[in-house]
Chains A and B, each alone.
Chain A
Amino acid sequence: MKNNILIIISFLFVFSSCKKFLEEIPQDQVTNANFYQTDNDAIAAINGVYQAMRFEVGNGIPTTFMLEQISDDGCNSPLSSNVQERIDLDIMNYNSYHTTVATVWNNSYTVINRANNVIKFVTDTTKIKDSIVRRVQAQARFLRAFYHFRLVQMFGDIPLMLEPADVQAGNLFPRRTPTKVVYDTIISDLKFAERNLDSFYAYSSANGGRVTMAAAKVLLGKVYLTMAGYPLNLTANYSLAADKLNEVIQNKIGFNTDLNTSYANIFTTNVATKQADKERIFFTRGTSGLAATFGAFTRMGWSFRDFRFTTPTKDFATNAIASRRVYETGDLRRNVVANSFDTAGARNSLVVKYAAGTDAGDDFIWLRYSDVLMMYAEALLEIGGTANLDAALSLINSVRRAHGGTTIPLLTYTDQADLRTKLQQERRREFAFECQRWFDLKRWDILIPSIKSSLVFHNNTNIAIYDFIDKIDPNRYKVLPIPFQETVNNPNITQNPGF
Chain B
Amino acid sequence: MKTNYFMFLKEAMVKLVFTTFAIRYFKPAFVLSVCCTTFFMSTSILAQNLAVSGNVTNDKGVGLEGVTIRVKGTSTISKSDAKGNFTIKASVGQTLQFSSVSYNDYEVIVKDAKSISVNLSVKADEQDEVIVVGFIAQKRPDVSNAVSTVAPKNADKGGYSNFQQILGGRAAGVNVMENNSEPGGGISIEIRGVSSITGSTQPLYVIDGVPIEQPNLNLNASVNISSWYGNNLTANPLSMLNPNDIENIEILKDAAATSLYGSRGANGVVVITTKSGKVGKAKISFNFNQSVNNPQRKVEMLGAQDYANYVNEAWNYRKLLGLALQSTDTPYYAKEIPLLKTYDHQEDLAASAITRDASVSISGGAISGAKYYVSGQYFDQQGIIPGTYLKRYSGKINYEVPLTQKLQLNVNIGVTATDRFGSPTQTLVSRAISWAPTSPLLNPDGGFNRISDFRYGYGDGLFNDPQYGNVYYNARIPVSLIQTVLRNGDAMGNSGSLNPLLFTSARGVRNANTSTQILGMASLTYKFNSKLSLVGKISINQFNSLLQTYVPITIPLVFSNYRGEAASGNSQNNSVLYQLNLNYKTKFGQHHAFNAALVASAEKFVQKYQRLVVGGFVSDIVGYNALQAATPQNISSTYAANQLVSSILQLNYIYKGKLVTNLATRYDGSSKFAPGNQFGFFPSASIAWKIEQEKWFRSIKHIVNEAKLRSSWGLVGNQGIGAYQTQYTLSSNQVVWGNNFSQIGFSPNRLANPYLKWESTSSANVALDLSFFKSKLYITVDAYQKTTRDLLFNVRTPGTSGSSTIQDNIATLRNQGIEITLGGRILNTKNIRWDIQGNVSFNNNKVIKLRTNDENDFYTNGVIGTGGYITRIQPGQSLGRFFGYKAIGIWNDTSILNKPLDFQSAAREGDRRYQDLNGDGKLNDLDRTWLGTAIPTAFGGINTTVSYKNFELSAFFSYALGHQIFNYFEINWGTMTGINNVKKDTYDNRYRYVFPGTDPKIAEEIRKQNLNAKVAVAGSAYEVRESTDFYIENGDYFRCRDISLSYKLPASFVKRLHVESIRIYGNVQNLFIITNYTGFNPEVGGSANGFLRGVDNGSAPLAKAYRFGFTVNL
Contact = CB atoms under 8 A, between A and B. Distances in A.
Interface string B561-577: 10000000000000000
Interface stretch (B119-127, B689-697, B711-719, B797-805): B797-805
Given A24-B643, A28-B640, A31-B730, A16 B739 contact: no
Contacts of B925: 97, 484
A102 B748 contact: no
Interface in B621-653: 632-634, 637-643, 645
Contacts of B532: 4, 7
Given A84-B905, A113-B801, A208-B739, A22 B745 contact: no
Interface stretch (A160-168, A239-247, A326-334, A421-429): A160-168
Nearest to A492: B798
Contact of A167 (B26, B742, B754, B905): B754
A28 B637 contact: yes
A18 B746 contact: no
A109 B802 contact: yes
Nearest to B805: A489
Contacts of A52: 747
B877 interface: no
Interface string B718-751: 0000011001111111111111111111111101
B206 interface: no
A11 B19 contact: yes
Interface in B780-838: 796-804, 806
A268 B929 CA distance: 49
A203 B743 CA distance: 16
A488 interface: yes
The listed residue with most A CB atoms (<10 A of its CB), out of B640, B728, B730, B865, is B730
The listed residue with most B CB atoms (<10 A of its CB), out of A14, A86, A291, A358, is A291
B584 interface: yes
Contacts of A488: 796, 856-857
Contacts of B672: 24
A87 B634 contact: no
Nearest to B638: A28
A173 interface: yes
Interface in A119-152: none
A359 interface: yes
A114 B748 contact: yes
Interface residues of B, number: 100
B559 interface: yes
B737 A164 contact: no
Given A28-B640, A486-B798, A17 B744 contact: no
B1022 A82 contact: yes
Contacts of B796: 485, 488-489
A11 B582 contact: yes
Contacts of A87: 905-906
Interface in A98-115: 98-99, 102, 105-106, 109-114
A47 B727 contact: no
Nearest to B223: A292
A275 B737 CA distance: 12
Interface in B855-870: 856-857, 865-867
A61 to B, nearest CB: 14
A306 interface: yes
The listed residue with most B CB atoms (<10 A of its CB), out of A4, A50, A167, A483, is A167
A23 B672 CA distance: 9
A414 interface: no
Nearest to B796: A489
Contacts of B223: 292
A41 interface: yes
Contact of B736 (A275, A287, A306, A490): A287
B602 interface: yes
Nearest to A296: B736
Interface residues of A, number: 110
Contact of B1023 (A54, A82, A161): A82
Nearest to A493: B798
Given A33-B728, A167-B752, A21 B645 contact: yes
A165 B743 contact: no
Given A165-B797, A167-B752, A174-B798, A12 B740 contact: no
Contact of B747 (A117, A292, A484): A117
A44 B738 contact: no
B678 interface: yes
Nearest to B24: A21
Given A174-B798, A291-B633, A47 B735 contact: yes
Nearest to A117: B748
Contact of B633 (A20, A41, A113, A293): A293
B871 interface: no
A323 interface: no
A292 B856 CA distance: 39
B595 interface: no
Given A84-B905, A97-B924, A79 B528 contact: no
A250 B458 CA distance: 69
B560 interface: yes
B19 A161 contact: no
B799 A12 contact: no
A475 interface: no
Contacts of A3: 528-529
B745 A31 contact: no
Contacts of B669: 22
A22 B671 contact: yes
Given A26-B723, A44-B746, A15 B20 contact: yes
Interface string A185-212: 0000000000000000111111111100
Nearest to A4: B532
Given A17-B19, A113-B803, A306 B751 contact: no
Interface in A199-240: 201-210
Given A15-B22, A208-B739, A485-B796, 16 more contacts: A7-B582, A18-B24, A21-B671, A24-B643, A31-B729, A32-B729, A85-B867, A159-B798, A165-B801, A167-B752, A167-B753, A172-B751, A173-B798, A290-B736, A291-B633, A296-B735
22 contacts: A4-B531, A21-B602, A22-B675, A24-B672, A33-B727, A47-B733, A48-B730, A48-B747, A52-B747, A84-B923, A97-B924, A110-B803, A165-B802, A167-B806, A168-B754, A201-B738, A205-B738, A210-B737, A290-B740, A359-B561, A488-B856, A489-B797
Interface of A: 3-4, 7-8, 11-24, 26-33, 35, 41, 43-52, 54, 79, 81-87, 91, 93, 95, 97-99, 102, 105-106, 109-114, 116-117, 159, 161, 164-168, 172-174, 201-210, 271, 275, 285, 287, 289-296, 306-307, 358-359, 465, 468, 483-486, 488-490, 493
